[in-house]
Amino acid sequence: PVEPQPPRVPFKYLGYFGPKDDKIAVFEDSKEIVLARAGDVLRDQFKLVEIEYESAVIGYTKPEFANKTQKLTMSRR
């Protein structure tokens, strides 16, 4: 059987700001700006796992995708 695939992450990672130990990530979602810290849940189905220098790691809140993540590279315009 084919393993179910997690939903597509709709965000573009724009970067982060704040001190090293309390970073706030900045995302764009359909022209809306979304701010989040590591551990925050976004749109009820995504979880910000880690904020890195040029990327953000997104996980999923649904148990069937608990071990899956996606790395979003910083969007360059």
Rounded to a whole number of angstroms, the CA Rg of the chain reads 13
Band of pLDDT at residue 76, cut at 50, 70 and 90:
confident
Mean pLDDT of 38-66: 96
Integer Cα distance of 53 and 56 in angstroms? 8
What is the greatest pairwise CA distance in the chain?
46
**Cα 66 from Cα 40, distance rounded (Å):** 15
pLDDT greater than 70 at residue 60: yes
Task: Give the pLDDT of residue 2.
Answer: 85
20-51 per-position pLDDT tens digit: 999 999 999 988 999 999 999 999 999 999 99
Q: Give yes or no for a contact between 27 and 36, defined as CB atoms under 8 angstroms apart.
A: yes
The average confidence (pLDDT) of the chain is: 93
pTM of the model: 0.90
